Every structure is written in structure tokens, then in C-alpha cells.
Chain A
């Protein structure tokens, strides 16, 4: 998985590409560092270009959710599509995190 970041006054946005899976724990550390550095109220994870996410990747989203919550930052998962949306729906992650279609 690769990502790029954009910052606005209101939000830090992380744009994921490729596959988010069990081999990406090091990348999770990088993204948590973005949360730690963010001064915005919202942390948006854009998944529109992500091709695949596995159960470990979903676990990483929950870790990010806790990291943002503990800093009073609202995390939003944006535009999961195709196989990514399928995994999120199967895990009923929408009951735990905010997802924007």
C-alpha cells in the first residue's frame, strides 16, 4: 500500500492506493504519526483508489479510529469501492467507524 497526504485547515486527508493488508504494519505506523501531528478536526482516509483490504487492514482502521478518538479528531473513511467495500461490509465496520460513500 502507498499513500499520499493533503492538509487543509479542517482536515488531514490520506489517499490510499494498492492493497492494504497484513504486510503493511509499518505503513500503519507512518499513518499514526500523521494522526499524532495533525491539528485538524477531521482525519479522512480516502479509499477510492484502494484495490484490496484484508482483515488485518480492517484492524488497522480500528487502530486509527482509536488513535484519532483519543485526540478528539473525527476519522472518516471515504469512498470504499468494489472489493474494499465488500470487506468493510462483511466485517460490519460501518457500525464502528464513519464511512462516507
Chain B
């Protein structure tokens, strides 16, 4: 994975590299390695870490300029640990300096997993929770029987990260007379702002024999987690996403001032 790949024009263009060995500035590489050191470059197909304990572990990464559903599926088929969308028209030299390693450090860096970093403009409407759950099933981490609940929780976490996090929209507007029209207009405005749509949405999945943990990280202003409702049944037009997550996930943890939601599910 050290070499930079140039695929034929008919195929999605990926640039694969080892974070620890190529192109990435040393401080960024060190930051990524501290968080994702568990995925080794010479990992076996059965997922065991053949290189575990080696000091020069590398993280498999695929970069793409612009992600869509087909490109992401093709990227996942290569089973990288990190799949990163740089953003359309991104400055290739500067892109690796972008902060696309927002997920928190794993408790156990040797666990298997994968990491997806998208721009908000791409994540909006992409239904990336469907893609992530497809990949969790493909890698044997998620029982198809349990998929539906995981996908709904992940969808709600991603929707919160996009709408309230990176787009910075408050649902309070919806409670006003005709507020849904205003909310729709505000969303359209934000989606037209390149500075907003370049903000990152990061999804970080790890698992072991008994559970799956999925972190969803945004680059918004955060929120007061105390305000998230614990129950539902009233006529409020928003707030049920957290109720779904708390009902269906084994554990929901919100950190970084509301910018990181970690969902944990029993396997």
C-alpha cells in the first residue's frame, strides 16, 4: 500500500498509501497512529493482526477526491482501514493536513475496525449509514438480524452530526408557526456554503467478540447533551433521534461537547 495508485479513467480514482510511511506530515501520522495503530499493513485475511507488536505498524488508507455510493463500495471492497474523501477540488498537497482523524482514541488499539471520513456535502443524502452497515455485515462484525436497529441508531447519529453539528441548524425553528419552511430554507442556504459543506463527518467502527462501537464525529459547535430528551410521546417535532438511540443501543455516550456520539451494541 505504500505506492500511489493511478487507476484507469473508467475506474474510481483512489490514492492509497500507508499513513506512517508516505506523504503525511509526521505530527499527523503520529496522531493517527496513536488512534488507529491496531490495523497493521500486513494483516491477514482472517482479520488477525499478524504484525501485532511490531513497532513500525502502518495504517492502510484510501483517499478519494470525491465520494459517492459506488466509489465508496469499491473502496470498501479493498478493505482499507481508513477511507477518506478529500473533497472535490481539494488541494492535494494540503488535503492530508485536514483534520480527518477526529475520532477518539480506541481503548484497545488492536481491535479490528474501519474509519470513514466524508465531507458534509457528500454525506448529506448519501445514506452512509446504509453503506457502513453493509460493510459491517460484509466484514462479519454485524449480524444481519441485528442490522435494522444498528442502522436506525447510526442514521440518527449521522443526521444529528450533519444537521445540528456541521450545518449548525437548530430544530427549535420547526416549533415556530410555518417553521418547517424556514428550516428547509436554512438547510438549503447552509448546503450552498462551501465552507460549511467541507466540514467533516467521521464514522469510526470497531468491534470485538462481544460488542460493536461506532463513533460519529462532526466539526460543528456541539450541543448541551442534558437537553436531549430521554422519553417521547409528546407532540415535539424533534428530539426523538436520541430516544431511538438510547432505546435500541446498549450504550450511548456523547463526548467532546456534543461533537462525538459513540453507539455501542452487543453482538
Q: A59-B240, A87-B244 are in contact. Are A21 and B155 (CB under 8 A)?
A: yes
Do residues A23 and B184 form an inter-chain contact, with CB atoms below 8 A? no
* Residues of A near any B CB (own CB < 8 A): 19, 21-23, 25-26, 28-29, 32, 52, 54-56, 58-60, 62-63, 83, 86-87, 90-92, 95-96
Do residues A54 and B241 form an inter-chain contact, with CB atoms below 8 A? yes
The 10 closest A-B pairs by CB, nearest first: A55-B240, A25-B184, A59-B237, A55-B241, A22-B159, A92-B233, A91-B240, A23-B125, A91-B232, A63-B180
Do residues A22 and B163 form an inter-chain contact, with CB atoms below 8 A? yes
Q: Can you name 26 A-B pairs with beta carbons within 8 Å?
A: A21-B155, A21-B159, A22-B159, A22-B162, A23-B124, A25-B183, A29-B181, A54-B152, A54-B155, A55-B238, A56-B159, A59-B174, A59-B237, A59-B238, A63-B237, A87-B152, A90-B240, A90-B243, A90-B247, A90-B248, A91-B232, A91-B233, A91-B240, A91-B244, A92-B233, A96-B235
* Residues of B near any A CB (own CB < 8 A): 124-125, 127, 148, 152, 155-156, 159, 162-163, 171, 174, 180-181, 183-184, 187-188, 232-233, 235-241, 243-244, 247-248
CB-nearest residue of chain A relative to B162? Answer: A22
